[in-house]
Homo-oligomer: A and B are copies of this chain.
Amino acid sequence: MAIDPTDPRSPSRQIADELREEITSGRLAPGDALPSEKMLVGRFGTAPATARQAVRLLKEEGLVVAERGKGVYVKRQPPTIRLGSHRFSRQTRAEGKSAFEAEIERQGLEWGQEVLELAEVPAPEWVAEWLGVDAGATVFVRRRRNLVGDTPTQLADSYYRLDTVEDTAIRTPDTGPGGSYARLEEKGLTLERFREEIRIRMPTPTEVQGLRLTPGTPVAELRRIAFGASGPLEVLESVVSGDSHVFCYEFAAPE
Contacts and interface: CB of A to CB of B under 8 A. Distances in A.
Contacts of A216: 60, 202
Contacts of A201: 62, 218, 242-243
A252 interface: yes
Given A61-B204, A201-B62, A216-B202, A88 B248 contact: no
B246 A199 contact: yes
A1 interface: no
Given A194-B251, A197-B248, A202 B85 contact: no
Contacts of A254: 85-86, 88-90
Given A60-B215, A255-B89, A255-B90, A250 B193 contact: yes
B194 A61 contact: no
A200 B90 contact: no
Contacts of A197: 246-248
Interface in A186-224: 190-205, 215-216, 218-220
Contact of A193 (B90, B193, B195, B252): B252
A99 to B, nearest CB: 11
A219 B200 contact: yes
A230 interface: no
Q: Chain A interface: which size bin?
A: 35 or more
A144 interface: no
Nearest to A20: B205
A89 B252 CA distance: 10
Interface string A229-255: 000000000000011011111111111
What 5 A-B pairs have minimum CB-CB distances, sorted nearest first? A218-B218, A200-B242, A198-B247, A62-B202, A89-B254
A72 B160 CA distance: 41
Contacts of A245: 199-200
A220 to B, nearest CB: 5
Given A61-B202, A89-B253, 17 more contacts: A17-B205, A60-B60, A62-B201, A62-B202, A85-B254, A86-B254, A88-B254, A192-B252, A194-B252, A196-B250, A197-B247, A200-B200, A200-B220, A202-B218, A218-B218, A247-B247, A249-B251
Nearest to A242: B200
Report which residue of A88, A205, A218 has the largest number of chain B beta carbons within 10 angstroms of its beta carbon: A218
Nearest to A193: B252
A91 interface: yes
26 contacts: A17-B205, A20-B205, A60-B60, A60-B202, A60-B215, A61-B204, A85-B249, A88-B253, A89-B253, A90-B254, A191-B253, A192-B253, A193-B250, A193-B253, A194-B252, A194-B253, A196-B250, A197-B247, A198-B198, A199-B247, A200-B218, A200-B219, A200-B220, A200-B242, A201-B243, A218-B242
